[in-house]
């Protein structure tokens, strides 16, 4: 009698696009051997809006609000990258006052991004409580954005050459108050998660990505730093005056999911440090540099990258000397970091795939653009 | 070492976490907004429903029909209509603003040289029809008309 009925057959499982823990409309086709993952295949494009193509039919100033809609969790960083790119093309530099305010807002945005990552990642793993607390703190950051520029999520806070809005009354007080209370809130999250045995057991050794893997795949941001490479665009290629601030690049050794959690928690503390330093040194002066009303950069091409909360965010802008950019290419951190899913998920359990997707910290608006 | 084993045995980490959740139950720590019952106060600079300002006394529009908002709008959703009067000056006739395409970037507001077009703090913009999202000059000046229902 043959035992053919005992042979295990490969099982194909569709995870998403309507799966709550894929953080959007990501579809992952899992090939399973029992509970183990043999291979994964990402299907992306459900949220494709053709942002890069839209850029070709808009003027430089008009396109700025669209970049906010790629990584809508950290819209301020997106806007900063784009504005820096066009400024480099125009050979102008933002005024000193604008630069400091830009640093403050992008670091606040980094905190907001990591907070929503922490809440949703913990929710995926099964810890519901941190989500409520992180959302509460994120709300304070969003209130500051709302008071400063009138929008909470898709802020459009920066303009080419500097800022559009003057600081509102009490801007520094609000941020100082947030920076005062936030580290103790971080301690609260840490007492909920860092020491928690379930949390540690669930994350330790899951989804290991070595430094070599990261470099092969072009993975940047907290994933790379968790693997032990101290690469941060803010330190390596300083922009917006980041070289004046004293902060550290948190790194870890093994590059598993727990390390990435540790790195991001440390990054939030470093962001608070940067904001506190920047608050004391907002210079007076104009908020926007002398930029022509009609922006018509000379023909040429430029690549500018900034350290977005998710990794290196690059803008490659080609100008042909007309009013519209000839080409705007975005190097989105989420898209490149997502490619590491295949390597991390191989041999993992299905439940760990959820943790791995969560730890990459993707936003599908940015993956698909 | 003994301390660590004791902490593990007595589930100290779990109780520390529980203490955080317990502490946050204090009524002072409630952050929920009772939205439909209590309308939240949005910031002064909030970019919400557009408004075409009129002179508070004479009731005449402040708009000078310069068409800059229509030029600067990334979505091309503003249509300004004007005609020349006897002295060959522009007089605003129509002003259409398609809210269904608006992304509230605020570029039109920035471009307006006379502060006629403004994005206000009103954020309740739902309407029952697609046409309801296209605001004409009267709606922009007076605010949205209340919906009338028939049986």
Q: Does the distance separating the beta carbons of B16 and A191 come in below 8 Å?
A: yes
Residue A327 at interface with chain B, using a CB cutoff of 8 Å: no
The position carrying tokens 């809210």 is B99
DSSP string, B48-76: -SEEE-B-TTT--B------HHHHH-TT-
Chain A residues with CB under 8 Å of B21 CB are 129, 192
DSSP string, A316-365: EEEE-SSSSEEEEEEE-HHHHHHTTHHHHHTT-BHHHHHHHHHHH---HH
Instruction: Give the pLDDT mean for A92-114.
Output: 90
pLDDT given at position A317? 92
Chain A residues with CB under 8 Å of B47 CB are 150-151
Give me the residue from A62, A148, A164 closest to B74, CB to CB: A62
For chain B, the straight-line distance linking the first and the last C-alpha, in angstroms and rounded, comes to 77
Work out how many CB contacts closer than 8 A connect A with B. Answer: 73
Q: Which of A192, A196, A324 to mutate to test the interface with B (most CBs of B within 10 A)?
A: A192
> What pLDDT digit, counting tens, does each position of A201-259 carry?
888 888 888 888 888 888 988 999 988 888 888 888 888 888 888 888 888 888 888 88
Q: Does the distance separating the beta carbons of A151 and B13 come in below 8 Å?
A: no
How would residue A316 be classed by pLDDT, with cut points 50, 70 and 90? very high
Chain A residues with CB under 8 Å of B3 CB are none
Residue A185 at interface with chain B, using a CB cutoff of 8 Å: no
The position carrying tokens 């709300």 is A139
Distance of alpha carbon B123 from alpha carbon A151, whole angstroms: 11
Closest CA–CA distance from residue A77 to any residue of chain B (Å): 16
Burial status of residue B148 (CB atoms within 10 A of its CB: 0-12, 13-18, 19 or more): exposed
Q: Which of B7, B10, B16, B20 to mutate to test the interface with A (most CBs of A within 10 A)?
A: B20
Instruction: Give the pLDDT mean for A121-127.
Output: 87
ipTM value for the complex? 0.82
**Residue A78, both tokens:** 């997106």
> What pLDDT digit, counting tens, does each position of A167-192 carry?
888 888 899 999 999 998 888 888 88
Q: Does the distance separating the beta carbons of B20 and A197 come in below 8 Å?
A: no
pLDDT given at position A4? 64
Residue A165 at interface with chain B, using a CB cutoff of 8 Å: yes
**Residue A329, both tokens:** 């290419």
Cβ(A301)–Cβ(A294) below 8 Å = no
Cβ(A46)–Cβ(A58) below 8 Å = no
> What pLDDT digit, counting tens, does each position of A50-86 carry?
888 998 988 988 898 999 888 888 899 999 999 999 9
Instruction: Give the pLDDT mean for A96-123.
Output: 91
Give me the residue from B17, B46, B110 closest to A146, CB to CB: B46
pLDDT > 70: what percent of chain B? 97
pLDDT given at position A106? 92
Residue A72 at interface with chain B, using a CB cutoff of 8 Å: no
DSSP string, B6-31: HHHHTTHHHHHHHHHHHHTTSGGG--
How would residue A109 be classed by pLDDT, with cut points 50, 70 and 90? very high
Residue B143 at interface with chain A, using a CB cutoff of 8 Å: no
> What pLDDT digit, counting tens, does each position of B32-81 carry?
888 888 888 888 889 888 888 888 888 788 888 888 888 889 988 999 88
Q: Which residue of A has its CA nearest to B123?
A: A151
Q: Does the distance separating the beta carbons of B20 and A188 come in below 8 Å?
A: yes
Q: Does the distance separating the beta carbons of A58 and B43 come in below 8 Å?
A: no
Q: Does the distance separating the beta carbons of B44 and A61 come in below 8 Å?
A: no
CB-CB neighbours of A8 under 10 Å: 8
Contacts of A289 (CB under 8 A, 6+ apart): A87, A92, A93, A94, A95, A98, A161, A162
Closest CA–CA distance from residue A348 to any residue of chain B (Å): 27
Q: Which residue of B has its CA nearest to A196?
A: B13
Residue B112 at interface with chain A, using a CB cutoff of 8 Å: no
**Residue B137, both tokens:** 């000059």
Q: Examine the pLDDT at A1 and tell me if it is beyond 60.
A: no
């Amino acid at each position: 009698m043959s035992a053919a009925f005992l042979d295990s057959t490969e099982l194909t499982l569709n995870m998403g696009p309507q799966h709550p823990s894929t953080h959007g409309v990501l579809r992952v086709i899992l090939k399973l051997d029992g509970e183990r993952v043999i291979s994964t295949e990402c299907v992306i494009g459900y949220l494709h809006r053709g942002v890069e193509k839209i850029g070709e039919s808009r003027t430089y100033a008009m396109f700025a609000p669209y970049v906010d809609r790629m990584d809508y969790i950290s819209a301020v960083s997106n806007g900063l990258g784009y504005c820096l790119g066009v400024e480099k093309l125009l050979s102008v530099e933002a005024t000193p006052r604008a630069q400091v305010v830009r640093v403050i807002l992008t670091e606040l945005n980094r905190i907001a991004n990591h907070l929503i990552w922490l809440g949703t990642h913990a929710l995926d793993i099964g810890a519901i409580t941190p989500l409520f607390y992180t959302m509460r703190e994120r709300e304070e950051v969003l209130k500051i954005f709302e008071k400063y520029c009138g929008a909470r999520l898709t802020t459009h806070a920066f303009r080419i050459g500097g800022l559009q809005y003057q600081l509102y009354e009490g801007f520094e007080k609000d941020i100082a108050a947030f920076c005062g209370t936030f580290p103790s809130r971080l301690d609260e999250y840490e007492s909920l998660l860092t020491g928690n045995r379930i949390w540690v057991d669930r994350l330790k050794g899951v989804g290991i990505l070595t430094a070599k893997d990261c470099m092969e795949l072009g993975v940047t941001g907290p994933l790379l730093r968790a693997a032990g490479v101290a690469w941060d665009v803010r330190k390596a290629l300083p922009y917006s005056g980041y070289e004046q601030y004293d902060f550290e690049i948190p790194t870890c050794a093994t590059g598993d999911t727990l390390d990435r959690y540790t790195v991001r928690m440390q990054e939030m503390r470093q962001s608070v440090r940067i904001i506190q330093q920047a608050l004391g040194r907002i210079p007076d002066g104009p908020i926007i540099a002398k930029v022509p009303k009609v922006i018509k950069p000379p023909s040429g091409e430029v690549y500018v990258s900034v350290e977005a909360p998710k990794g290196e965010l690059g803008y490659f802008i080609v100008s042909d000397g007309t009013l519209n950019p000839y080409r705007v290419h975005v190097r989105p951190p989420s898209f490149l970091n997502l490619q590491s899913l295949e390597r991390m998920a191989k041999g993992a359990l299905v439940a760990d795939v959820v943790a791995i997707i969560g730890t990459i910290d993707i936003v599908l608006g940015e993956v698909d653009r | 070492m003994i301390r660590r084993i004791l902490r593990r045995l007595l589930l100290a980490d779990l109780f520390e976490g529980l203490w955080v959740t317990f502490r946050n139950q204090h009524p002072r720590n409630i952050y929920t907004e009772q939205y439909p019952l209590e309308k939240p106060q949005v910031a002064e600079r909030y970019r919400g429903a557009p408004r075409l300002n009129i002179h508070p006394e004479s009731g005449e529009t402040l708009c000078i029909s310069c068409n800059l908002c229509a030029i600067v709008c990334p979505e091309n959703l503003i249509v300004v209509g004007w005609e020349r009067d006897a002295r060959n000056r522009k007089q605003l006739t129509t002003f259409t603003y398609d809210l269904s395409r608006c992304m509230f970037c605020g570029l039109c507001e920035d471009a307006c040289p006379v502060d006629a077009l403004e994005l206000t703090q009103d954020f309740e913009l739902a309407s029952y029809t697609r046409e309801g999202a296209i605001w004409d000059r009267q709606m922009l000046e007076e605010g949205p008309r209340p919906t009338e229902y028939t049986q």
